[in-house]
Every structure is written in structure tokens, then in C-alpha cells.
Amino acid sequence: MSAITVEPVNSLKAELGALLGNVDLDNLSDADFDVIRNALYNHNVICIKNQGNLTPKAQAELTRRFDPKALSYGHGKTIDAKRSILHPDLKTVPHQPEVQIIGNGFVAEYEGLKNITLKHPHHRSFHKTVIPEDQDLDYTRFYRWHIDAALYGKLYPPLVTSLLAVKVPAGRIQTLLYDDNSGDELQVPLGTTAFASGYTMFARLSPEQKEFVLGSKIEYAPHPYVWISTAKSRPDGLGIVSEDKEVSIDDLPEIERESDIQILPMAWQNPVTGKFALQIHPSVVRKIHLHDGRIIDDLKEVRDIVHGLQRPGIAPELVYAFDWKEGDLVLFNNHGVIHSVVGAFGLDEVRLFRQCNLAGSHPPLGPSAVLA
């Protein structure tokens, strides 16, 4: 028996967020882990509070427990790192390379790193249109909706990501603007991480859309985060504006094997509930493979199809904007939610987080595998 308690944070969105109590991560029994795993796959974003003393090693071990055969950091060793859009955002803990440091501002010393300056991703560096600078601290956007995944080579999407809040600036509220002519906006705490459920996205599709999603696969671009390094995002952070600004395939790092290009299902199955999530990284989609063998390869059409499927699922009332407190350890089902960095910090607002995810030991379970 386990003493761990599981409390949904919102009864109207029970599958998106739960708070776990009576958790002793230093003495976690198999029964305790079973409760945590079931909570993760039923609520998809779970929080364990007051974990400020958790070591990077213990964080990596807990994360690996969801996928014991997973070994390396989810993005492996980034090829052509300086051109990758992920390059400015991450610093590696020297003694625990699966764990990354993210945040904002100057940090004199932390876990073997000295005199580091962290850069919180800002929509101004990635979106085609931007909020005026004089409104920057009052208004914000979703930076980039995504799945934590390399989406290239044999680095399959991590099953779970863990995030630990080490230092959180004093809170203030920002107004998040979708800026997509919908009029949608959302009040969010400073530096929130926004989550949206792929299961809700799938459930809200029409019968025709569900049939399309269950029978289709996404082909992702080779070296995807270099490929989009010269392109710009939609204002809602849900995919790229089609302007032919991507790095040409010939100018990307060498593609050693065609099999390194990942083609993954649109729908991924939850291993506990059996539900399907519409699970797509919208920024780096390149082609859609249909059930009858045809391929949609017009990039603008591909992006418009994906955006049309996903956009209803990030409506304001469906977004879980997590309000971080120091010591919060959040784990989320990376095969069932998409998430986005949010917020704009002042120069003196220091934020320090630890992130861990491990490249999956197997690809996501899609409809064809289930049917087989």
C-alpha cells in the first residue's frame, strides 16, 4: 500500500493536472511509484511540492524509472548546435548530462556551472509579428507549442519530462495574447509553463477528422531545429508561417540514413487509459503520409492541416497555465500533452529550473500498432 495522495487541480479538467501529497522521493517503494505513474497517465501533468533538495542524480533516476531502458538526454548530442534554435536555451549539468539548466538571468554558480547567463526564450526572437516593446512586461504570448523530442535519428520522443523550480521570480500577472484575430487571451502568472491535452484535442475532432488522424502519419524534417532556425512562428506559437525561409535541405548537416528521418503517428496511445492523443510537434512538420500511401508534401498545406486540427485544443479554457513556486517538481506525459514556454522577464528577474528528459527506448504507440 502507498500513502501517496492524488488531488486533481481542476475537476473540470481532471485529465490535465494533479497535486501529489505524502511523497518521499528518497524512499520510493514500487507501490509508491505505481501511484505516481498512474497519476501521471491519468492527469498528464503532476506536481510534487517542496522538492528543493532533490539532486540532479535523483531527478534523472526518477525520470528514468518511467522508461528504464532510456539512457541518453532526449536530444542526444545536438549536431550543428550553434544553428539549432535550442542552442541558447539549455546548459548541461556537468556531472549529470541528462539534466539541463534553463531559466533567465545571471547565476554565479550552480551544480558545477559558474558565471552563467540564462536566456528565457522570448517570442520576439521567433515570431513573425511581435508585441510592442513598451507593452512587453504586461503582455506575452505562447513562445512555441511543442513536444520534447529530437524527432530525428534513433532518438525517440521521451516518455516523461521532469521540471524542478529552483528559483522563481516574485510573481506578477501577464495577459497572454493569441493575436490570431480570434480575440482570445488568457491571464497567466509570470513565467508559466502552459500545457494543453492531446487527448482533449483528439476527443473534440469531428468523426471525419478522427478517421483522418488515426490513419495518417507525420514526417518530420531532418535536423528539424536547424531547419526552422531561419523561419518564424505564428503568433499563437502553434507552428511556422510559410514563407520559404527554412534552411534548404542541401544546407542542413548531412543526412546519413534516410531512416533517420522520423515518421510518427498523428495519434499516440496512453499506456494506462488507452485513450488517443493528437500528438504533433507543429513547428517541424514537413509531410503527411495518408493511410492509402499518398503523401501531402505541400508545406503550407501540411501546416494549415495540422494547425486546423490542433488550434481548438489550445483555446483559453483548455490551457493549464502552471503557477510555479520554488521547490515544485512537475512531471508531464510527453506522449500526451504539448506545452509552451510563456512570459517576458525583466533583466533583474532571475529564474532557474532543472529539466530532465530521456530519449524514449521505443517509438510512440500509434493506432496501427494497436490494431496489429
19 belongs to a structural domain: yes
Q: Specify the number of domains making up the chain.
A: 1
DSSP 24-75: -GGG--HHHHHHHHHHHHHHSEEEE---TT--HHHHHHHHHHTSTT--SBTT
- The answer on pLDDT for 55 being more than 60 is yes
According to the model, what pLDDT value does residue 347 have?
77
Distances (CA, A) of 359 to 43, 63, 150, 367: 22, 11, 8, 21
CB atoms within 10 A of CB 146: 20
Q: Which of 169, 221, 217 is nearest to 325 (CA)?
A: 169
According to the model, what pLDDT value does residue 260 have?
94
Instruction: Write out pLDDT tens, residues 312-353.
Output: 999 999 999 999 999 999 999 999 999 999 998 887 899 999
Work out the pLDDT band at 372, boundaries 50, 70, 90. Answer: very low
Instruction: Write out pLDDT tens, residues 174-199.
Output: 999 999 999 999 999 999 999 999 99
301 belongs to a structural domain: yes
- The answer on pLDDT for 57 being more than 60 is yes
- The answer on pLDDT for 247 being more than 80 is yes
Burial of 96 (0-12, 13-18, 19+ CB in 10 A): buried
Work out the pLDDT band at 82, boundaries 50, 70, 90. Answer: low
Instruction: Write out pLDDT tens, residues 105-140.
Output: 999 999 999 999 999 999 999 999 999 999 988 999
369 belongs to a structural domain: no
Work out the pLDDT band at 360, boundaries 50, 70, 90. Answer: very high
CA-based end-to-end distance of the chain: 36
Q: Which of 247, 253, 75 is nearest to 152 (CA)?
A: 75
Instruction: Write out pLDDT tens, residues 145-177.
Output: 999 999 999 999 999 999 999 999 977 899 999
Work out the pLDDT band at 72, boundaries 50, 70, 90. Answer: confident
Rounded to whole angstroms, the Cα distance separating 16 from 251 reads: 40
Q: CATH no. for residue 139?
A: 3.60.130.10
For CA atoms 66, 281, 310, 164, give the dihedral sign: positive
Give percent of the chain above pLDDT 90.
87
Burial of 201 (0-12, 13-18, 19+ CB in 10 A): buried
Query: Once rounded to an integer, what is the mean pLDDT over residues 249-268?
Result: 95
DSSP 148-162: S---BTTBBPPSEEE
Cell of 114: 559558474
Rounded to whole angstroms, the Cα distance separating 6 from 74 reads: 28
Task: Find where cell 490513419 sits.
Answer: 215
Instruction: Write out pLDDT tens, residues 120-129.
Output: 999 999 999 9
Task: Find where cell 493536472 sits.
Answer: 17
Query: Once rounded to an integer, what is the mean pLDDT over residues 243-254?
Result: 95
Work out the pLDDT band at 90, boundaries 50, 70, 90. Answer: confident
Cell of 196: 494543453
210 belongs to a structural domain: yes
Give percent of the chain above pLDDT 70.
96
Instruction: Write out pLDDT tens, residues 28-44.
Output: 999 999 999 999 999 99
367 belongs to a structural domain: no
Residue 97 near residue 73, CB atoms below 8 Å: yes
Instruction: Write out pLDDT tens, residues 284-321.
Output: 999 999 999 999 999 999 999 999 999 999 999 999 99
- The answer on pLDDT for 371 being more than 80 is no
- The answer on pLDDT for 11 being more than 70 is no
Phi, psi dihedral angles at 246 (to 5 degrees) = -65, 155
* Least confident window among 17-21, 87-91, 347-351: 87-91
Mean pLDDT of all residues belonging to the chain: 93
Burial of 228 (0-12, 13-18, 19+ CB in 10 A): buried
- The answer on pLDDT for 214 being more than 80 is yes
Q: What is the 8-class DSSP label of residue 348? A: T
Domain of 125, in residue numbers? 5-361
370 belongs to a structural domain: no
Q: What is the 8-class DSSP label of residue 201? A: H
According to the model, what pLDDT value does residue 16 have?
94
Cell of 43: 492527469
